[in-house]
A and B are shown apart, each in its own frame.
Chain A
Amino acid sequence: GAVVSQHPSWVICKSGTSVKIECRSLDFQATTMFWYRQFPKQSLMLMATSNEGSKATYEQGVEKDKFLINHASLTLSTLTVTSAHPEDSSFYICSARASGASTDTQYFGPGTRLTVL
């Protein structure tokens, strides 16, 4: 149980294009999902908290107009990197916290490697 999928697992795009990454909780409902990114040799850094039915909360230094988050259902959150540039190349990974769970465990997807040429 508690499986989170992410799609795509990797993507290569041209500079200036937009890329959408999906995060799905497959066997549980998630009121809250989190988006992280990891640059080489660095730790996972929280970008934003995605709440179902409301606006996402972004961490300091993360541009909300560049990284659009939509959490339209209890099992799906999407991250769209708009007008991607080479500096956006990174590993993006989501996690989901089960609704009404007795623990605070976050379940992670396998991540998406984005390369912007």
Chain B
Amino acid sequence: ILNVEQSPQSLHVQEGDSTNFTCSFPSSNFYALHWYRWETAKSPEALFVMTLNGDEKKKGRISATLNTKEGYSYLYIKGSQPEDSATYLCAFNGSSNTGKLIFGQGTTLQVKP
């Protein structure tokens, strides 16, 4: 059974703090690792699709790194803002043909003004 784990489960930070979360996934049969940001009552928003070991991607204050050999990815948020409050999901794609995603449970971030 393929397992994707995210930690921590939840996180409370003050506005301006930088923070990071972890996603661990199977290190074999890797095709891609997806990160999504999910605000309540909205659609999950695609942040990154990462495919290469050592990949580092950035979108504004959010960045992510990827280590496929050891099976983990980090998501970083620099200078958290209240609007960053959301659940951040990672999803493992072990096959390019089917596109099936295996999701972690998510990390819920609450940024206090």
B32 touches A104 (CB 8 A): yes
Tell me the nearest residue of chain B to A109, going by C-beta. Answer: B43
Contact mask for chain B residues 87-113; partner A; CB cutoff 8 A; 1 contact, 0 none: 001010100101111111110000000
Contact of B44 among A41, A103, A108 (CB under 8 A): A108
Complex interface: chain A residues within 8 A of B49 (CB): 103-105
B100 / chain A contacts, CB cutoff of 8 Å: 34, 46, 49
Which residues on the B side are within 8 Å of A57 (C-beta)? 98
Q: Answer whether residue B46 sits at the interface, using C-beta atoms and an 8 A cutoff.
A: yes
Top 7 A-B residue pairs of the complex, sorted by shortest distance between their CB atoms:
A44-B103, A108-B44, A43-B103, A43-B105, A110-B43, A108-B43, A105-B46
> At the interface with chain A, which of B34-42, B58-66, B69-77, B78-86?
B34-42
Of B36, B43, B93, B99, chain A has the most CB atoms within 10 Å of the CB of B43
The answer to whether B99 touches A106 (Cβ under 8 A) is yes
The answer for the CA separation of A105 and B59 in the assembled complex, in Å, is 15
Task: Summarize A's interface: helix, strand, loop or mixed.
Answer: strand
Chain A residues proximal to chain B, CB less than 8 Å: 4, 32, 34, 36, 41-46, 49, 57, 93, 95, 97, 103-111
- B4 an interface residue at 8 Å Cβ cutoff? yes
A41 to chain B, nearest CB (A): 8
| Alpha-carbon distance A104/B49, docked complex (angstroms) | 7
Question: CB-nearest residue of chain B relative to A4?
Answer: B43
Chain B residues with CB under 8 A of A97: 99
Determine the distance from Cα of A49 to Cα of B99 in the docked complex, in whole angstroms.
Answer: 9
13 residue pairs from A and B, CB less than 8 Å apart: A43-B4, A43-B104, A43-B106, A44-B101, A104-B31, A104-B93, A104-B99, A106-B34, A106-B101, A108-B43, A108-B44, A109-B43, A110-B42
Could you tell me if A34 and B99 are in contact, using CB atoms closer than 8 angstroms?
Answer: yes
Known pairs A104-B93, A110-B41 / 16 extra A-B pairs, C-beta < 8 Å: A34-B99, A43-B105, A46-B100, A46-B101, A46-B102, A49-B98, A93-B44, A104-B32, A104-B96, A105-B46, A105-B49, A106-B34, A106-B46, A107-B43, A110-B43, A111-B43
